[in-house]
Structures are given as C-alpha cells and as structure tokens.
Amino acid sequence: METITLPYWIFIVLVLFAAVMVLDRILLPSMRWYLKRRVNRVINEINTRLDIEIRPIQFTRRQALIDQLVFDEKVVDAIKLYADEKQMPHAVAQQKAYEYASEIIPAFNAYIYFRIGYWLAKKLARLVYRVRVGFYDRDKISQSDTNASVVFVMNHRSNMDYVLVSFLVAEKTTLSYAVGEWARIWPLQTLIKAMGAFFVRRNSGNELYRKVLERYVNMSTRAGVCQAVFLEGGLTKDGALRDPRLGFLDYMLRDYHPHNDRDIIFIPVGINYDRVLEDRSLVRRLDKSARNRSVWFIIKTTIAFIFKNAMLSRKNRWRRFGYASVNFGEPVSARQFCEANDVDFSALDKDDRFGRVDVLAKSIMSNIAQVVPVVPVALMSEVLIKNREQWKSELELKTLCADRIEELKNSGAPIDISSSALESVLRAAMDILIGRGILQEKDNLYRMDESEVDIVAYYANSIAHWR
C-alpha cells in the first residue's frame, strides 16, 4: 500500500475548497430558507395589523427595479440627451444612469424594518424624549382609501424627525424617506436602505440624475409606496416654518391623471420639541460671518455630548430632553384637489404645472402649521422674549404662560397641556432652560440670558405663526 504525501499548502487549499463547497451547497441554502421563512412569517403577521399593507414593489428584487428604472422611456431619452451634451458614448451615459439608480433605489427588508428598525426607533425616541402624539383629522386618516398612495408631509426640525415619525406610524404602515448624503456612510447606509429609505443628492444640477430621481419617485408613488416628505426641503435654522419646496411634489404629480391613477393622499404632520439636539449648530448657520467648523470639531463635540449624557445616566441624573410632540392633521386628496380646481397636472406645461403645485404645497403647508404642537419650552421662550429685560418670579412667568395658553386655545392652536398638570409642566420647562444656562436665576427671580437670545428665539419661532 503506497502512501501519498501532500505539501501542507495543498492540504490547506483542499480543506478550504471543501469548506466553501459545504457552505455553498448545504449551509447557505439552509440559512437562506430559514431566514426567508422568518421574513415571510413577519410579513404575514404585520400585514394583518397594518392599515396600509406593504406594497408588492417593496418585495421586488432590487436588481429588477434598477433595470426597470434605467430602461424607463423618459430615462432613456435623458441618457441620449446627456450623452449628446457631454459628447460621450451612449454606453458611458447609460452606466452613469445605472449608478444613479443603484444609489437611489432602496433594498427594503421587512424583517429589519419591524424587528430592528422599529425597536431601535422606539427605544431611542423614548430614551431621549417624552413622546406625545395627537390626531386632528376627525377620523379621516382611518377612513382614507387603503389603495391610495399615502404621503406623510412634515415640517423638519431635527434629524430625530426620521426616528420619531417612523416609530409612531409603524403600527399603520411602512415609510420610505428621502435621506440626504450625510447618511451615506458604512454601515449606516446599509441599514437605512434596508429600512426602505432612498438617498438624494440635494441641489444637484445634473439633469440625468434629476431625471432618474424623478422617475423613481413617480414609479414608487404609482405603486402605492407610503412616503415621508419634508416639504421645507431641509432643517429650519431659525425655528420658524420655511416656504415649501416644490420638487418632490412635482415629481409625484407631473404625470398624475386624476381619473385613472390611484389617489395620492397627503397627510400633514406637525413636529415640535422641547429641545432640538442640533439647535446650536442650526442657529449658528444663520451667522454668515461665523467660521465654518472642521469635521474633527463636529466629531469631537458630538462625542463629548454623548459622553456627558452617558455619565449623567450612570449617576442616575439623566433627564430626558422634555417633550417630543407629533400631531397628524386632516388628509389632503390630490384627486379632490384636481376635481375642485379643474386641474390635470399631466396636461399642463412646466410653468402652469409649477403654479398649481405651488397652490397645493402652500395649502398643505398651512395644514401643517395648524397642527405643529405648542410645547412647554416654546411657550416659555415666547414669554421670555417678550419680557427679556425684566426679572420675573416663577409665579409671574407661569401666569403669563397660562394667559398665553388661553389665547392660543381661542385661536385653535393644538395644545395638549391639562390645567391640572400645567404648573408642573411649566416648571419642567424652566428646569430645562436653567440646566442649559439659558434662564438666569437671581433672588428667586428669572430672566433670559441675553447671550442666548438666538436660541430662545429659535424655540419661540416654532409657534410664531400663532401670533
């Protein structure tokens, strides 16, 4: 019997090759079957309780959606035009469109959305804030057509808006967000895409990119995917509501046929916080003469902020940052808007279409303003601004706030502060402002720190539309 001797490196290669074959032929198929079974079980369970079911397009293979988008008739025309303008081969322009489509289209995973994303959003929102939610729709949301394309249209105060609203509507539907390029870092971008979000290059002047984005938004809207849109286009820097940006609404409506297409239901969402985590950096952007901070400074400041609050938690001194409130307003139907105004967006030229979209956008923005919550810190900030040079006792400040609450209630403002809890709620708002060094205390009298006037104005401006 002859013995065959193999070098160690050949033996190791053979073992690795055998391991790969076992993994590929036995373990991976079993794992895929197991995971797919769990995902299907989650989907079946969730669809039974969602008001709006997950749409079939969200289960379509991502590669198929990319191909569908790249070979869309209008994208093909844009590719030809782009190639001619840039004097490049058609294949190169088509490859660029493919890259844009790959960048935009999400990789929705129902298991990650509901078992990981929802859990994280819920824990984070409740860790940082006392969450309050209100409905001012007179049951119209629950009565809306479940086959319609639902679009939650929100004001944009903080990057926590994504987390907060996703958590609050998770019992009703899944949401697809447009996320800025700030989130395109590993592994965050993988998680965000699995949550159904899609990346957007803000203020891109590339016509081919804009056409690919437009057709994706149009495609997902036609398929009934529930979306969340910040109508202001970006975070408010002074705290006040901004004018609406028309881009996304125009993408959704420019090919909309009210008599044939499914309805598009816009649900206004008003968001407000007792403390916005990014408030100082947002207010600082208003000062054009201020020096831009380096990336290292931003990272260092963020780490210091997290470390400080983590230490407070260990010492049992952690306090949540007050209230985070979300109100849902009356839905606005695109079909009803078209019928009431005798409009067919698909038949209008660009200028006329934008004029009509602007009317609709301002109407929705007005509905959002009507449901932006009046939170205690915003109320206290408004009183402090009006009495900025006077020292006031705690009782005087609370009395002024109570008087202002009555005015706001008479104006129809959404205030969810009961009279029995008013005193303690206002005291908590004062504690937040004192803890941040915004409210000065002297001999049991209080006054706003003049150096913090921009921050106080930022919070007062969140309810400025009720003045």
User: Model confidence at 407, in pLDDT bands (50, 70, 90)?
Assistant: very high
Q: How confident is the model over 230-241, as pLDDT tens digits?
A: 999 889 999 999
**pLDDT per position as a tens digit, 154-194:** 999 998 888 888 878 877 778 888 887 666 666 667 777 77
Report helix angle 160-169 to 118-128, nearest 10: 120
How high is the pLDDT of residue 315?
A: 43
Provide DSSP, 252-278: HHTT--TTTSPPEEEEEEEEEES--TT
> What is the mean predicted confidence (pLDDT) over 261-283?
92
The upper half-sphere exposure of residue 389, i.e. CA atoms within 13 Å in the direction of its Cβ, equals 0
For residue 209, which of 55, 341, 329, 97 has the smallest C-alpha distance? 97
Amino acid letter at 48? T
Cβ atoms of 253 and 149 closer than 8 Å: no
Using a cut of 0.85, tell me whether the model's pTM lies above it.
Answer: no
Q: How far apart are CA 36 and CA 280, in angstroms?
A: 45
* Choice among 10-19, 378-387, 396-405, 452-461 with the minimum mean pLDDT: 10-19
Tell me if residue 8 falls in helix, strand or coil.
helix
Q: How far apart are CA 257 and CA 39, in angstroms?
A: 36
CATH code of the domain occupying 376-466: 1.10.10.10
Segment 125-164, tens digit of pLDDT: 888 898 888 776 655 666 667 788 999 999 999 988 888 8
What are residue 271's DSSP bridge partners?
A: 326
Q: Is pLDDT at 28 greater than 50 in this prediction?
A: yes
CATH fold of 102-277+321-371, please? Glycerol-3-phosphate (1)-acyltransferase (3.40.1130)
Residue 308 C-alpha from the chain's centroid:
27
Residue 229: how many other CB atoms lie within 10 Å: 24
How far apart are alpha carbons 172 and 269 in whole angstroms?
A: 15
Mean pLDDT of 257-285: 91
d(CA 166, CA 163): 5
Give me Rg for the CA atoms of the chain: 26
| Mean pLDDT value of segment 327-331 | 90
Q: Which two tokens stand for residue 65?
A: 């959606």
Exposure class string for 187-197: b at 16+ Cβ within 10 A, else e: eebebbbbbbb
State the average pLDDT over residues 362-382: 94
pLDDT at residue number 421: 85
Q: Is the pLDDT of residue 6 over 70?
A: no
